[in-house]
Amino acid sequence: MVTFRISDMTCGHCASTIAGAVRAEDPAARLEFDIGEHLVRIASAALAGPALQAAIRAAGYSPMEVQGRPQPAAARGCGCGCGCGSTKAQALDVTQTAGPAKGGCCN
Ligand SMILES: [Cu+2]
């Protein structure tokens, strides 16, 4: 699992563009987006960090590999289906991810 911070990834469209770029290189890659934190975690058996970074960069974004394990948001994958912590890019938008983790739609 490799984590990148992509400061110019700002919405679900960016995420889907990035996902498409990575999957063009490795169709089996798994991607988890946290658009509010500008983070993407990628699990790929075929591609290492530098190759993933190159694919994202080629798509027009500026990935910075994050070392360690960032834990930015309290709610990730709350399971209620609201999309607040979802890993699905199409379930996220700017207004959803901008909200606080607690006191939001899940509580
Ligand atoms: Cu975007």
Q: Which of 30-39, 41-50, 64-73, 76-85 has the lowest mean pLDDT?
A: 76-85
CATH code of 62's domain: 3.30.70.100
| Total domains, the chain | 1
Say how many Å lie between the CA of residue 13 and the centre of ligand 1: 4
- Specify if 105 maps to a domain: no
What share of the chain has pLDDT > 70, as a percent?
64
Quote the domain boundaries for residue 42: 2-66
Burial of 10: CB neighbours in 10 Å, binned 0-12, 13-18, 19+: middle
| Residue 27 structure tokens | 């169709």
- Residue 12 CA, ligand 1 centroid: distance in Å: 6
Least confident window among 9-18, 24-33, 43-52, 95-104: 95-104
Whether 103 is covered by a domain: the verdict is no
Angle, vertex CA 72, rays to CA 83 and CA 54, nearest 5? 85
Contact by Cβ (8 Å): 30, 88:
no
**Rounded mean pLDDT of the chain?**
80
Report if residue 28 sits inside a domain. yes
Rg (CA), the chain: 13
Rounded CA separation 68/53 (Å): 16
Q: What confidence score (pLDDT) does residue 67 get? A: 85
Range 93-101 average pLDDT = 48
Assess if residue 104 is contained within a domain.
no
Average pLDDT over residues 80-107: 49
CA 14 to ligand 1 center in whole angstroms: 4
Give 70 Cα–ligand 1 centroid separation in angstroms: 22
Residue 36 placed within a domain = yes
Residue 14 lies in a domain: yes
